[in-house]
Amino acid sequence: MAISNKGGAQVFATAPGQDGAHLTYCRLCEAQCGLVAQVKNGMIVKVRPDEEHVTSAGHLCVKGPAMASVTHDPDRVLSPLRRKGGPGDFEPVSWEEALDDIAKRLHSVLELYGSGAVATYSGNPASFATMHYSYTRMFGAALGSKAKAFSAMHTDTASKILAQELVYGTPVPVTFPDLEDCDFLMMLGANPMVSHMSLVSEPRVRQKLAAIHQRGRVVVVDPRRTETARLFEHLPIRPDTDAWLIAAMLQHIFASGLEDRKTLEQRSEGAEQLREAVKPITPERASSYCGVPSQAIRSLAVRFAQARTAACYGRVGVCRGRYATLVNVLIELLNVVTGRFGQAGGWVSGMSPLQADGGPRTYPAYGSKRSRIGDLPLIIGSSPGGSLADEITTGGPDQMRVLFMDSGNPVASYPQGDQLAGALEQLDMMVALDLYITETTRHAHYILPSPTFYERDDLTDMWVANAPRPWIQYVGAVLPPLGKARLEFDVYDAILQRLGLPSLLSNFASSDTPRPRLMEAVDRALRAGVYGDRFGERSSGLSLARLRDEFPHGVRLSDRVDAAASWARLRTPDGKIRLWHPVFGAEFARLQGAATDEDGPLRLIGRRKLPSMNSWMHNVERLVRSDRPTLLMNPLDAETRGIHDGTRVKITSSFGSIEVEVELSTDMIAGAVSYPHGWGNRGGWTHAASLPGANVNLLASSRPQDWEQISGMIHLDGVPVIVLPV
Ligand SMILES: Nc1nc2c(c(=O)[nH]1)N[C@H]1C(S)=C(S)[C@@H](COP(=O)(O)OP(=O)(O)OC[C@H]3O[C@@H](n4cnc5c(=O)[nH]c(N)nc54)[C@H](O)[C@@H]3O)O[C@H]1N2
Ligand SMILES: Nc1nc2c(c(=O)[nH]1)N[C@H]1C(S)=C(S)[C@@H](COP(=O)(O)OP(=O)(O)OC[C@H]3O[C@@H](n4cnc5c(=O)[nH]c(N)nc54)[C@H](O)[C@@H]3O)O[C@H]1N2
Ligand code: SF4
Ligand SMILES: [Mo]
């Protein structure tokens, strides 16, 4: 273990709310940039980048500082609220009253219907506070073995982590590109100049990508000439056809003998079946589907296979199509077949500092548990998020009656929010833990106020496993929780206590702390983990106290992720990578059975913007001032439809329609249009609700049969639509 840190001279405030400069880090996206928050009279008055931060070293984006405005937003919910009338009609109530009533109602539902009637939903922000995503699920599990877990996963990563399970025998840890020494990075469906790179924790991503491009190449495969594509080599592609591109690259690699023999012969199984399966997918044939010229496919395959080091990385833009799992499998396989897996500068995995042995956890095998609605396989125990409404409205055993909605807004983030909003009204009890009255939480019986990241202690945990330059940082709260806000963990613990159940982290209990607070348990997990001090046994190891006192700007756990250690994380029975699985055969057949899109309908895809964060930061006036949601359309598509720049149009799919404004742009490939998600806000966020824009997910299908059946992933990108002037 090589722990190193840059020293610093400035003295920082440590008590929550104390006047002065506080060191902290942003918990909005994987970059986790180091910040310095200036506090005066109990308010955050300024946020600047932490120049001495061990990894971000002065980098941030507009959203980190804007979280100070969210923290002090007059629209924020700062007291427990109880529903008194229709949706959105609440009255303040004390914590005691709220928790007593919640525990009482929960108890009677558990008695009458069992734990199958109870569910939790973890939204995106839960992936950034320490252990938050895990303990929300642990809370459900503590109520009974049949409690269901939902999350944002089925709009985001289910297809990616399932692909990993099929190929490596375990869904996690998540593989990612080792940017540090990569010479050739191929990216599909990702726009890191805006998103700051998903499932990869690297705050200085722009600099890292530029360095790769200078050493070799960054190729951006995207239907839109994105902010990222503009800086590097752009390869435009028709939406939802990436499986063709990668399969044809593999075909050419095998046909040209460019595969890595050692990996195929010694460290994997199924090379022959894969070779046979891709044989008919020639670059010419693939080209008629994906629109990439066959010569460009061949050249890309050769450049990728021959680069000194290379990685192929796919993200949300390839996770929500009709072949979501297959594309993600093919991306893993392209990396494996060319010898990039477990290679420095290639395709790797890492580990969280809270893991004791560095090995992955064990999950129920793929397909062993299936959803009540749609009969879809659960992905690491998660039910398909798209089925929330049907789970509530479909009678019978294990019908959902109680829902804990923690940092999520599925009415905005999942298909057919209006349907879901109606269903939420039928629950016996919905408890929301959130900052605002949102499109979703306005349907709750109780809204319990949560702290923003400026009001909580945190240790970087989950994303350390996805950092090419792994680091760890522990920060105290900048402010004490405002109003009556309470840490989600403490809320769950208080409910469990009322039900007479043990604490969520009782395995970390001791005689003096029978119900450990979150950070007490985290400290114990850290100290027992791979980097820990083993409670004094290893003086060079870490504890929260040591992190706080000696490494306030964070500390690098090593210079680089240990690429070769990725091999030790495989969990197939024979320890070899699976290049073939029965699921792949059926998916290849399905792919080849479909018609080309050449003269097909317009295909709708998504886009993110720098000042927006999914559905929930539009209340910060400063952020949205210049952020207008528009439908991007190529002028060729506009001309044939009598559409001009600024025309109001109606977008219609088989499932709904919305009205929006058009922005013409040659950045958009002809045949595809793009509209950002998370707009059309309603609820208690006054400014957000006053903005133009529509909820694009009203166009997507909430019927299980329309989702990708291997992973249960929602179909959000490549949705066929008709666009006409209003
Ligand atoms: N069409 C389309 N739809 C998409 C996507 C897309 O690209 N296109 N992207 C999808 C993706 S990748 C994701 S991850 C999902 C996100 O989907 P969700 O996670 O369901 O929703 P968010 O919009 O992230 O809403 C987060 C909620 O958490 C609250 N919140 C923020 N911080 C905290 C906190 O610290 N504690 C608590 N308790 N609450 C907090 C906010 O007020 C907000 O209500 O959206 C998905 N939907
Ligand atoms: N500013 C900002 N940053 C964010 C977020 C945010 O809302 N705002 N959200 C955070 C979250 S929750 C996530 S999951 C990450 C996501 O981070 P990214 O994965 O980088 O997601 P996007 O920025 O949505 O980029 C997806 C790209 O996929 C392209 N695309 C769509 N369909 C296809 C297709 O069929 N094939 C190919 N090859 N490309 C396609 C789109 O044009 C788009 O450029 O970002 C995180 N960071
Ligand atoms: S890039 Fe922006 S949103 Fe992401 S962690 Fe850094 S400051 Fe926060
Ligand atoms: Mo996401």
Q: Let me know if residue 19 belongs to a domain.
A: no
Ligand positioned closest to the Cα atom of 195: 2
Average pLDDT over residues 94-98: 98
Q: Let me know if residue 86 belongs to a domain.
A: no
Q: Cβ–Cβ contacts within 10 Å for residue 100, how many?
A: 14
> Which domain range does residue 686 map to?
595-725
* CA–CA distance, 96 with 48 (Å, rounded to integer): 38
Among candidate residues 153, 327, 278, the one with its CA nearest the CA of residue 718: 327
Any atom of ligand 1 within 6 Å of the Cβ of 678 = yes
- Contact status, residue 650 vs residue 663, Cβ threshold 8 Å: no
The 3-state secondary structure of 281-332 reads: CCHHHHHHHHCCCHHHHHHHHHHHHHCCCEEEEECHHHCCCCCHHHHHHHHH
Any atom of ligand 1 within 6 Å of the Cβ of 697 = yes
Any atom of ligand 1 within 6 Å of the Cβ of 606 = yes
Please give all residues whose beta carbon lies within 6 A of any atom in ligand 3, as ranges.
Answer: 26, 28-29, 31-33, 60-61, 63-64, 196, 203
Partner residues linked to 475 by β-bridges: 458
If you measure from the C-alpha of residue 193 to the centroid of ligand 2, how many angstroms do you get, rounded to a whole number?
A: 10
Q: Let me know if residue 561 belongs to a domain.
A: no
pLDDT tens digits along 50-64: 999 999 999 999 999
* CA–CA distance, 5 with 522 (Å, rounded to integer): 22
**Helix (H/G/I), strand (E/B), else coil: 713:** coil
pLDDT tens digits along 662-692: 999 999 999 999 999 999 999 999 999 999 9
If you measure from the C-alpha of residue 96 to the centroid of ligand 1, how many angstroms do you get, rounded to a whole number?
A: 28
Give the N- to C-terminal CA distance of the chain in Å, as an integer: 63
If you measure from the C-alpha of residue 719 to the centroid of ligand 2, how many angstroms do you get, rounded to a whole number?
A: 16
Q: Are strands 184-188 and 217-221 parallel, antiparallel or unpaired?
A: parallel
Instruction: Tell me the angle at which helices 488-498 and 132-143 cross, rounded to the nearest 10 degrees.
Output: 10
The yes-or-no verdict on residue 1 having pLDDT over 60 is: no
- Contact status, residue 646 vs residue 682, Cβ threshold 8 Å: no
pLDDT number for residue 90: 98
Burial 63-95 (b: 16+ CB within 10 A, else e): bbbbbbbbbbbebbbebbbbbeeebbebeebeb
If you measure from the C-alpha of residue 478 to the centroid of ligand 4, how many angstroms do you get, rounded to a whole number?
A: 26
* CA–CA distance, 169 with 157 (Å, rounded to integer): 17
If you measure from the C-alpha of residue 29 to the centroid of ligand 3, how many angstroms do you get, rounded to a whole number?
A: 6
Q: Let me know if residue 631 belongs to a domain.
A: yes
**Helix (H/G/I), strand (E/B), else coil: 149:** strand
Any atom of ligand 1 within 6 Å of the Cβ of 616 = yes
If you measure from the C-alpha of residue 123 to the centroid of ligand 1, how many angstroms do you get, rounded to a whole number?
A: 5
* CA–CA distance, 180 with 209 (Å, rounded to integer): 9
Ligand positioned closest to the Cα atom of 198: 2
Among 198, 233, 597, say which to mutate for ligand 2: greatest number of ligand atoms within 8 Å of CB. Answer: 198
Rg for the chain (alpha carbons), in Å? 25
Any atom of ligand 2 within 6 Å of the Cβ of 224 = yes
Ligand positioned closest to the Cα atom of 607: 2
CATH of the domain at 661: 2.40.40.20
**Helix (H/G/I), strand (E/B), else coil: 662:** strand
If you measure from the C-alpha of residue 100 to the centroid of ligand 2, how many angstroms do you get, rounded to a whole number?
A: 42
The yes-or-no verdict on residue 9 having pLDDT over 80 is: no
* CA–CA distance, 346 with 349 (Å, rounded to integer): 10
* CA–CA distance, 227 with 191 (Å, rounded to integer): 7
If you measure from the C-alpha of residue 147 to the centroid of ligand 4, how many angstroms do you get, rounded to a whole number?
A: 24
The yes-or-no verdict on residue 596 having pLDDT over 90 is: no
pLDDT tens digits along 123-150: 999 999 999 999 999 999 999 999 999 9
Quick one: DSSP state of residue 684?
Answer: S
Any atom of ligand 1 within 6 Å of the Cβ of 191 = no
Amino acid, single-letter form, for residue 684 = G
- Contact status, residue 450 vs residue 434, Cβ threshold 8 Å: yes
Among candidate residues 409, 501, 600, the one with its CA nearest the CA of residue 107: 501
Q: Please report which confidence band the pLDDT of residue 5 belongs to, taking 50, 70 and 90 as the band edges.
A: very low
If you measure from the C-alpha of residue 137 to the centroid of ligand 3, how many angstroms do you get, rounded to a whole number?
A: 26
* CA–CA distance, 702 with 692 (Å, rounded to integer): 25
* CA–CA distance, 591 with 89 (Å, rounded to integer): 49
Q: Cβ–Cβ contacts within 10 Å for residue 45, how many?
A: 12
Q: Cβ–Cβ contacts within 10 Å for residue 576, how many?
A: 16
- Contact status, residue 244 vs residue 327, Cβ threshold 8 Å: no
Indicate the residue among 323, 348, 373 that finishes a domain: 348
Amino acid, single-letter form, for residue 487 = L
Q: Can you tell me which atom of ligand 2 is nearest the CA of 241? A: 35
Any atom of ligand 2 within 6 Å of the Cβ of 36 = no
Within 210-309, strands assigned E span 217-221, 233-235, 268-269
CATH of the domain at 241: 3.40.228.10
Q: Please report which confidence band the pLDDT of residue 289 belongs to, taking 50, 70 and 90 as the band edges.
A: very high
pLDDT number for residue 4: 41
Residues making up the chain, counted from first to last: 726
Q: Let me know if residue 361 belongs to a domain.
A: no
Q: Can you tell me which atom of ligand 3 is nearest the CA of 56? A: 6
Determine whether 272 is exposed, middle or buried from the number of CB atoms within 10 Å of its CB (0-12, 13-18, 19+): exposed
Amino acid, single-letter form, for residue 285 = R
Any atom of ligand 1 within 6 Å of the Cβ of 90 = no
Q: Let me know if residue 97 belongs to a domain.
A: no
Q: Cβ–Cβ contacts within 10 Å for residue 11, how many?
A: 8
The yes-or-no verdict on residue 414 having pLDDT over 80 is: yes
* Dihedral sign, Cα of residue 697, residue 699, residue 700, residue 702: positive
- Contact status, residue 190 vs residue 157, Cβ threshold 8 Å: no
* Dihedral sign, Cα of residue 359, residue 361, residue 366, residue 368: positive
Partner residues linked to 598 by β-bridges: none
Among 122, 616, 675, 715, say which to mutate for ligand 1: greatest number of ligand atoms within 8 Å of CB. Answer: 616
Quick one: DSSP state of residue 458?
Answer: E
Mean pLDDT of the chain: 96
If you measure from the C-alpha of residue 467 to the centroid of ligand 2, how many angstroms do you get, rounded to a whole number?
A: 19
* CA–CA distance, 273 with 256 (Å, rounded to integer): 17
Q: Can you tell me which atom of ligand 3 is nearest the CA of 60? A: 7
The yes-or-no verdict on residue 523 having pLDDT over 60 is: yes
The total domain count for the chain is 2
- Give the tokens for residue 512: 């003096």
Q: Can you tell me which atom of ligand 3 is nearest the CA of 32? A: 5
Q: Let me know if residue 445 belongs to a domain.
A: no
The yes-or-no verdict on residue 184 having pLDDT over 80 is: yes
Indicate the residue among 294, 325, 348 that finishes a domain: 348
* CA–CA distance, 464 with 462 (Å, rounded to integer): 6
If you measure from the C-alpha of residue 712 to the centroid of ligand 3, how many angstroms do you get, rounded to a whole number?
A: 30
pLDDT tens digits along 388-412: 999 999 999 999 999 999 999 999 9
Q: Cβ–Cβ contacts within 10 Å for residue 401, how many?
A: 22
* Dihedral sign, Cα of residue 699, residue 396, residue 107, residue 422: positive
- Contact status, residue 319 vs residue 325, Cβ threshold 8 Å: no
Q: Please report which confidence band the pLDDT of residue 360 belongs to, taking 50, 70 and 90 as the band edges.
A: low
Any atom of ligand 2 within 6 Å of the Cβ of 205 = no
Among 160, 608, 674, 717, say which to mutate for ligand 2: greatest number of ligand atoms within 8 Å of CB. Answer: 608
Average pLDDT over residues 230-248: 98
If you measure from the C-alpha of residue 550 to the centroid of ligand 4, how many angstroms do you get, rounded to a whole number?
A: 33
pLDDT number for residue 355: 81
What angle is formed at CA 245 by the lines to CA 243 and CA 251, rounded to 5 degrees? 100
The yes-or-no verdict on residue 8 having pLDDT over 70 is: no
Nearest 5°: phi and psi at 366? -55, 130
If you measure from the C-alpha of residue 25 to the centroid of ligand 3, how many angstroms do you get, rounded to a whole number?
A: 9
| In the chain, % of residues over pLDDT 90 | 94
What are the respective helix, strand and coil percentages of the chain, to the nearest 5? 35, 15, 50
Q: Let me know if residue 680 belongs to a domain.
A: yes
Any atom of ligand 2 within 6 Å of the Cβ of 29 = yes
* CA–CA distance, 82 with 97 (Å, rounded to integer): 10
Indicate the residue among 348, 364, 384 that finishes a domain: 348
The yes-or-no verdict on residue 527 having pLDDT over 60 is: yes
Any atom of ligand 2 within 6 Å of the Cβ of 55 = no
- Contact status, residue 296 vs residue 224, Cβ threshold 8 Å: no
Q: Whose CA is nearest to atom 24 of ligand 1?
A: 124
The yes-or-no verdict on residue 453 having pLDDT over 70 is: yes
On the CB side of 557, CA atoms within 13 Å amount to: 26
